[in-house]
Amino acid sequence: MTVEIKKCNIEDLQTLQEISKETFYDAFKDQNSTENMKAYLESAFSLNHLKKELTNISSQFFFVIFHNEIVGYLKLNTGDAQSEKMGDESLEIERIYLKGKVQKNGLGKLLINKAIDIAIESNKKKIWLGVWEKNENAIAFYQKMGFVQTGTHSFYMGDEEQLDFIMTKALI
């Protein structure tokens, strides 16, 4: 298969917004109200918000390109960009999203391995992420990739508080 992982820069802002909205909507539309989904998409993926994230030196975005089509993306955070105070020895996978038609083809594993490579190169000791307690598919995937539950935190979808499991993979 032809697959490439490409680091995003500011010129990718518009494309990043499109893939972010599309994949988030597809993943969660069935389990959330239209109002909460709309509110979340408009705030989390506004061009202003994404621009701040793209230009934060402690965050990195990558597109996964499969047969010349951008089919998903990865967002990594270190230091203060992490959504919890996990410290300088941790790397967060904040977002890992693929279009439905390419899931279960090994691309998720490829992106996890990309995150592991970057974490090891920058001397991190663990990788962590938050996953909605109802996202059974992703939880099973992360378990397969060697992550274990180490805590919980709250996530707001519009005005609804949801519980995320924090899952961690030690690197040493």
Residues that bind ligand COA (CB under 6 A): 27, 96-98, 103-109, 131, 135, 137-138, 140-141, 144
Query: How far is it, in rounded angstroms, from Cα 24 to Cα 97?
Result: 7
Residue among 62 and 97 whose Cβ is closer to ligand COA? 97
Residue among 17 and 103 whose Cβ is closer to ligand COA? 103
Query: How far is it, in rounded angstroms, from Cα 164 to Cα 70?
Result: 27
The backbone torsions φ and ψ at residue 169, rounded to the nearest 5 degrees and listed phi first, read -125, 120
Please report how close the Cβ of residue 145 comes to ligand COA at its closest, in angstroms: 6
Query: How far is it, in rounded angstroms, from Cα 15 to Cα 47?
Result: 10
Please identify every residue annotated as catalytic: 142
CA angle 154, 81, 89 (to 5 degrees): 95
Residue among 141 and 158 whose Cβ is closer to ligand COA? 141
Please report how close the Cβ of residue 136 comes to ligand COA at its closest, in angstroms: 7
